[in-house]
Amino acid sequence: MGERGSYRPLDADSVVEFVEPFVPGPRESEEVGDGNLNLVFKVYGDGGSSVVVKQALPYLRLAGENWPLTLDRARIEAAALEVQNRFAPGTVPRLIHYDSALAAIVMEHLERHEVWRVGLNTQRHYPQAPAVVGRFCGQMFICTSDLGMHPEERKKLTGRFINPELCAITEDLVFTAPFIEAESNDIEEHLTDEAARLRSDKVLAENVAILRFMFRTRAEALIHGDLHTGSVMVAPDDTRVIDPEFAFMGPMGFDVGAVFANLALAHIAHRAQGHKEFAETLPEAADEFWAAFTESVLSRWPASETWRERFIVDLVNDAARYAGAKMIRRIVGLAHVTDITDIEDDQQRYRAQVDAIAGGRALLLSRRVVSVEHLWTLATEGEA
């Protein structure tokens, strides 16, 4: 198995054969993929051993075979896991094997973990998670940017992470489609007017075009590229960032903005449902994420370099705008978030959707965001 040209989608039987070198038999498998793109199997072997196998399909799982998608994303994910394990050890799953012909990755099975978004939706508190994700970002940004990596090595890294097709998905689904009439948009009927208002706002269109240009051109560091709360696995004593198939050398603010956007969406969703106490844990999570992130960055950067303070303030400002685009796409674009889609009461769901659009819009239209408090107020109150 694994020869060039021998790609075929794995199934419950063939995946068991595929992992033979890594898991002692007898083995059992189950397909558990609930994401938008790939097949994911858990394979259990003798003596309590187990692994996860993630295989790229030649199309987008969410849309079906009429939306073809490169298998190269499995190579990108394996390479990103390797680099993340090197620079941010303990914060991502261990990479066990990558098979290029099958576009499949064998990795550590995080048995005790659940997806952070699922934990947030069910009001389970994981107090360590925000700081681990903050440190993950800080370590990756310093170690893979010109701030911490030799320029020649960084340029080679850039070559390894050319990821045009997955970047194109983001350019389209985050920065373009939600702001125009697009077939891919998924708009609940009661949001027809709000979505039309977004499409007719010329200043918004201008700001989002600038943001898309920044996303396309700022090869600052190896970013995760899709760092929402569904890309984090949590246990009471352990947190791991998963799913780096969108990784490329891009703007740091995009990952930071993704974390803020998803915490803000969780807050807005719980607030709309009257879960006051849990909603109030989310601004704290945002603060903890940011404190760990800045601590991680500043501790690796000599204090004599005074521009580091300016760098951090500029980063919040970038992150605020990216967060705005990300919030809006999760309401009127393709691929919504269960924080909001799972709200069964129509009035509460509508409230959350309208608040998320207002937050996203306020972030995208803001002139200059200089602190996380400012960012959070815009995101969750829709104004400064």
| Footprint of Mg ion on 236-255 (CB under 5 A) | 243
The residue within the footprint of ligand SR1, chosen from 1, 12, 32, 62 (CB under 6 A), is 62
Q: Determine the angle formed by the axes of helices 307-332 and 346-365, rounding to 10 degrees.
A: 140
What is the token pair recorded at 112? Answer: 């005790």
Shortest approach of ligand SR1 to residue 336 CB, angstroms? 10
The residue within the footprint of ligand SR1, chosen from 335, 356, 358, 362 (CB under 6 A), is 335
Shortest approach of ligand SR1 to residue 226 CB, angstroms? 5
| 167 in contact with ligand SR1 (CB under 6 A) | no
What is the token pair recorded at 201? Answer: 């706002």
Residue 167 or 205: the one with the smaller Cβ distance to ligand SR1 is 167
Site map (CB under 6 A) of ligand SR1, residues 291-330, x = contact: ----------------------------------------
CA atoms of 76 and 252, how far apart (whole Å) = 18
Cis amide bond preceding 26, omega within 30: yes
Residue 154 or 329: the one with the smaller Cβ distance to ligand SR1 is 329
- From 127-135, 165-173, 214-222, 273-281, give the range in contact with ligand SR1 by CB under 6 A: 165-173
Q: With CB under 6 A, what is the number of residues at the site for ligand SR1?
A: 10
67: enclosing H helix or E strand: strand 64-68
List b or e across 231-254, with b for residues whose CB sees 16 or more CB atoms inside 10 angstroms. bbbbbeebbbbbbbbbbbbbbbbb
Q: Give me the amino acid identity at 363.
A: L
Q: What is the maximal distance between C-alpha atoms in the chain?
A: 61
| 16 in contact with ligand SR1 (CB under 6 A) | no
Q: Give me the amino acid identity at 380.
A: T
| 60 in contact with ligand SR1 (CB under 6 A) | yes
Shortest approach of ligand SR1 to residue 172 CB, angstroms? 9
Among Mg ion, ligand SR1, none, residue 335 binds (CB under 5-8 Å by kind):
ligand SR1
What is the token pair recorded at 304? Answer: 């004599």
Residue 171 and residue 305 in contact, taking contact as beta carbons nearer than 8 Å: no
| 32 in contact with ligand SR1 (CB under 6 A) | no
Among Mg ion, ligand SR1, none, residue 60 binds (CB under 5-8 Å by kind):
ligand SR1
What is the token pair recorded at 344? Answer: 């069964």
Bridge partners, residue 43, by sequence? 29, 51
Measured in residues, the chain has a length of 384
> What is the binding site for Mg ion (CB under 5 A)?
243
Residues that bind ligand SR1 (CB under 6 A): 36-37, 60, 62, 169-170, 173, 226, 334-335
